[in-house]
């Protein structure tokens, strides 16, 4: 996931869901899950900010 600005919103949403599911099943932190997926933490922060109606900055 090199150019994250070009990752579709649907893909980002799937990453968020995978992080939530992994945490509930295994207790892994979001950071550990993202590291295992090779996804920068910034993707989760940006997606959560947009999801809650806030800005990314």
Instruction: Quick: pLDDT tens for 2-46.
Output: 555 677 888 888 888 998 999 999 999 888 988 898 888 887 777
Asked whether the predicted pLDDT for residue 56 surpasses 60, the reply is: no
Cβ atoms of 43 and 53 within 8 Å: the answer is no
pLDDT at position 6 is 73
Q: How far apart are CA 25 and CA 44, in angstroms?
A: 19
Q: Are 30 and 44 in contact (CB under 8 A)?
A: yes
SS3 percent helix, strand, coil of the chain, rounded to 5, is: 70, 0, 30
| Stated pTM of the model | 0.63
User: pLDDT: is 1 or 43 the higher one?
Assistant: 43
Domain boundaries in the chain?
7-51
DSSP label of 46: H
């Amino acid at each position: 996931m090199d150019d994250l600005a070009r990752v579709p919103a649907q893909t980002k949403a799937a990453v968020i869901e995978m992080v939530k599911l992994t945490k509930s099943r295994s207790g892994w932190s979001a950071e550990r899950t993202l590291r295992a997926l090779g996804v920068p933490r910034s993707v989760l922060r940006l997606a959560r900010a947009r999801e809650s109606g806030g800005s990314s900055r």
